[in-house]
Amino acid sequence: MASAGDRVEERGEKARARELERALEREFSVVCFAWDGTAVAHRGADAAAVRSRVERLTALGVDIAVISSAGVREVDHHLGARPGVEGRLFLFLSRGSETYVVGPAGPRLLERWRATASEYEGLDEAAEALCRRLASAGLQVDLVRDRLNRRSLDLLPDWAGLPGASALELRREVDARLNAAGFPGGLEEGIRLARDLVREAGVAHAAVTSDARHIDLGLTGKADAMHAVARVLVAGRGRAPEDVLVVGDSFGPVADGQGTDSAMLIPELQRSVFVSVGQEPAGVPSPVLHGGGGPVRFLDILHDQLAMREIVAQTSFPEPTDDPGWRFEVKGFDPFREREVETWLTVANGETGTRGALEEGSAISTPATFVAGVYGDGTGDPAFRQPVPAPDWTGLRLMADGSLVTLANGEIVDHERVLDLRHGVVYRTWRQRLRNGRTIRVRTARFASLADRELMAARAEAVPEDFGARIVWQSAIGVTHAGGSIKETEIDILEDPPGLIARTRGRNGGGHVLAVTTSPAPGSPVARMPQQARDVIGGRLEQGDPATVDRLAAIVSARTRVPSPEVARHALERARDTGFDALLERHRAAWDAAWAAADLRVDGDPEDQHALRFAIYHMISTAHPEKDTVSIGARGLGGMSYFLHVFWDTEIFVLPFFIYTQPETALTMLTYRYRNLPGAREKAARMGFRGALYPWESADKGVETTPPYVYGPDGEQVPILSGLMEHHISADVAWAVWEYWKATGDDAFMVDMGAEMLLETARFWVSRAAEDEEGRYHVRVVVGPDEYHEGVDDNAYTNVLARWNIKRALEALAWLDDHDRARARELRKRLKLAGRELARWRRVMEGYVTGFDPETLLFEQFAGFYDMADVPLERLRPRPMAADLLLGRDVTLVSKVVKQADVVMLCHVLADEIDEATTRANYDYYEPITSHGSSLSPGIHAAVAARLHDVAEATSYFKMAAAIDLGDNMGNAAAGLHMATMGGLWQAAVMGFCGIMRRGEALRLDPQLPAAWSRVRLPLRFRGAQLHLDLRRHGDGVDVGITVAEGPVTFRLDGVDHELTPGAHRLRRRDGGPWRVEAL
């Protein structure tokens, strides 16, 4: 049983242990330690573990100070540390006489103090006298003269037990020898004798010390080294003494002398933390904390300092959501699918789009970053406007002990990429077993900031799982694989922030500046080492250590020139100062806000939910809400197909999503068309018409950019007629203007831009119409949405929308006369709109041929369509199919085969004017002969089928549309995303299945939910009101909860308008009966 005294001692030990633990549970900016006995047991001990920890700590920004009586050759050779940067590792050697800083190239002398000749003579005199006195007593000693500013007497030159002996063991042996030689005071008596001799020799300020084996007569000591630490690393770097940790092994008294490290207790550092790892049999003086354990405990202390910092890197690496409804996953690596994967994993923000290529690249990788709105002239045949891609900013090569880590080097253990749709971040996790049998784990995360649209960022981490090695990230920017109209790219070294900057100029067009910097991530024990045209960041890592880097990129662009590099550099500087983590938080917050306005939540069918979120993510990320010099290209910002050109896809398919969720972005996209109105006027005039004919393909100047031809497989020129004949684009833009105005109530837009666009497109349609002998007006030689048939007359979609366009323009002008008479007068004068011309507009509008038969309720798709040859329906199956390729263009040109929704599309866009019976008749006629050879078609068929209550067929078309990108069922996803398909999916869900469509200035509601959909929740904006709708299947009916904010909204239910005021409302319908409206 323990005695009371034992229990008291035990409690005291526990208290001291807790005190030590508390003192060491924080990070120190400076770690200072004695070398012999503390860091290593003796000078022959393996110092690899110390070296590794020192290099990693210096990489993390910790200043390391090594204190030793030895010289640089001995200590540097033993430690062997080579930090990645100079300025963190310092050697205070020769008992404070010299200071070295150590960097990648080794130690460099900072300062050295050398004794004068007379001081050396005095030291020699005293040392030789001491040798004679000891030798006369029968002691064998060696005098060591090659020590800077001191002389040393080795008292144990021949002792067999020297290697590995502790300070206490050395002291005992020295005392025993001195006692036997007639020095009863042992070592302490020898030290006193040495001090007397030094004084007799006339050496001022001499320091006589001992490490138990030697007696040193010198002019400096460990106190001088510590004064240098306090001066250089504490005061010189603006730190406080509390930031310093000092570790030694002999602070307390040994026998009747002081420990060798007691001189490290200097006044300037009295508030620092001092720890002894030695045995300290006589205890330690205040304020030293005793830990014991020797060099092993010392290594633990360094390890804990590392762990406290590395946990930041390990725990701060972002993770994708666990919710499968927000995860788009690509498991494994299939080289045959990789280019489609790159498209799917595009990160974009309306300013740029970066394909999801592997950071390290591969033989089949096609990395590219596209910059919205920057074009130049292509150099091929034919020449036309093409995007000017930016250099690849994502490139990161990983090296492990000089071996390149790639998917081809060894065996892929695991590989997964996740697009976090919720927050717009692409994550990659990868484990590779290298050819040498070692396993390394890699994680990356990248995003294009939705909050700071000029910025892109990536974090990459490599962890050696079962080995220690030198892990290095090499980063560079390289020429993109996307090609394009680049005239030149110049790459220079960037000094602040450190990195690279690339200036790219398009041919006769715009340009951009890309600035990139790479730096160690917080908590990662790696350092940056700049090299020409690349950054190299790495360090010597132990098993499980993270080598983590942050890569930040800033890009600025202009349509007609190369911007100033300083603008990009300042943007990058701000990004650097903000840091990856804060940039990511801002980016996530921006996505949270975007999804709050747009998320469409579906319960019951995870696949449909996934498809909708994938579509919404890419639509949001491709649009720019503020930059009206750009719009959304047909294939987004993820591929070169259609060269980022803007088609009718934008207004008819994509814009409705923004009108009803983010009208500010819709306004910006329409402003792009208004800015390019001069180009539309120019095209109309060039073709002999008046008004505005928008280009079929638009880029930066608003002029026609459709290539006039391509080359066939035999080298023959194949004309592309869309730019010459597909004129419905002007009516499509007019439709978008009207839809935006009616859905938002944005009168300012109509006054400033919309009315002029409607009037100029209407003027075009009046001039485009040709009058026949019966006074009817035709639009001859056009291409409608069904592009299988070229040069046709009176395409129904074109003619009906043209007539509608004229009608709406006249209505807009009448509204403007009432609303803003001054603006109306200004427009009439500037556009030279006389009353006679407007009267002609009305005549032409009334005489337009539409192809409608009131008996059959059918629109003939174009004149003569009914006379074309029939094609057996089985030859048009399975769908979707490219009938022109599978049947032959010579067949589709003369047959009743429809490429995509044409008349059915007309019934959709004019749903508030074309009744259900007419829609049903045309859908039933045209649907069986439509091959859906265009990605634009299935989504619209889904919306129209749902409107007609053909829910099963609508569901089938919805899934067909979803598979165009997600299943790559058209085989061209590698070349870019299908933005129209994505817009069509949203329209199918909202306007089709949820049955929400505009009727005048009200919303019609007629839900027809798919069988698997039990509930749908969605936000909408309509005429200034913010709506949240909650549709639930309820037996044979449906319940709709509607929360209204920011103003009233009108719903048209059973043909009757109901105004819902701000607040909560419930609508109920059972068994196809009438709606019941309840205020909650």
Residue 425 CA to residue 498 CA, distance in Å, equals 25
Q: How many CB atoms lie within 10 A of CB 613?
A: 22
Q: How many CB atoms lie within 10 A of CB 251?
A: 27
Looking at the DSSP assignment, which residues form a beta bridge with residue 461? 443, 548
> Which pair of structure tokens corresponds to residue 239?
């730190």
The one-character DSSP state at 521 is P
Residue 700 CA to residue 375 CA, distance in Å, equals 6
Residue 245 CA to residue 272 CA, distance in Å, equals 6
> Which pair of structure tokens corresponds to residue 7?
């229990």
The 3 state secondary structure assigned to 187-245 is HHHHHHHHHHHHHHCCCCCCEEEECCCEEEEECCCHHHHHHHHHHHHHHHHCCCHHHEE
SS3 for 839? helix
C-beta separation of 994 from 1016 below 8 A: yes
Looking at the DSSP assignment, which residues form a beta bridge with residue 385? 377
* Non-local CB neighbours of 7 within 8 Å, separated by 6+ positions: none
Give the side-chain half-sphere CA count within 13 A for 423: 20
Residue 354: which region, alpha, beta or left (left: phi > 0; alpha: psi -120 to 50)? beta
Residue whose entry in the numeric block shows the structure tokens 């747009």 = 598
User: CA–CA distance from 827 to each of 171, 247, 804, 893 (Å)?
Assistant: 104, 84, 21, 43
Cis bond upstream, residue 184 (ω within 30): no
DSSP output for 340-360 = HHHHHT-EE-SSEEE----SS
- Provide the strand spans (E) within 468-523: 469-475, 486-494, 499-506, 511-520
- 787, 790, 860, 927: which is the annotated catalytic residue? 787
SS3 for 929? helix
Do β-strands 63-67 and 30-34 pair in parallel, antiparallel, or remain unpaired? parallel
**What angle (nearest 5°) sits at the alpha carbon of residue 307, between those of residues 302 and 313?**
140
Backbone angles phi, psi at 911, to 5 degrees: -65, -25
Backbone angles phi, psi at 72, to 5 degrees: -65, -35
**What angle (nearest 5°) sits at the alpha carbon of residue 508, between those of residues 506 and 509?**
55
Sign of CA dihedral 863, 866, 869, 875: positive
C-beta separation of 540 from 57 below 8 A: no
> Which pair of structure tokens corresponds to residue 929?
């002969």
Rg over alpha carbons for the chain, rounded to the nearest Å, is 40
Residue whose entry in the numeric block shows the structure tokens 């980016």 = 587
Residue at 801: amino acid letter: L
Looking at the DSSP assignment, which residues form a beta bridge with residue 503? 490, 513
Residue 268 CA to residue 812 CA, distance in Å, equals 83
The one-character DSSP state at 134 is H
Q: Where are the alpha helices (DSSP H) in 910-1024?
A: 916-926, 937-947, 951-966, 979-987
Residue 14 CA to residue 450 CA, distance in Å, equals 54
- Whether 573 is catalytic is no
Residue 815 CA to residue 835 CA, distance in Å, equals 16
Sign of CA dihedral 6, 7, 12, 13: positive
C-beta separation of 73 from 47 below 8 A: no
Provide the annotated active-site residues: 787
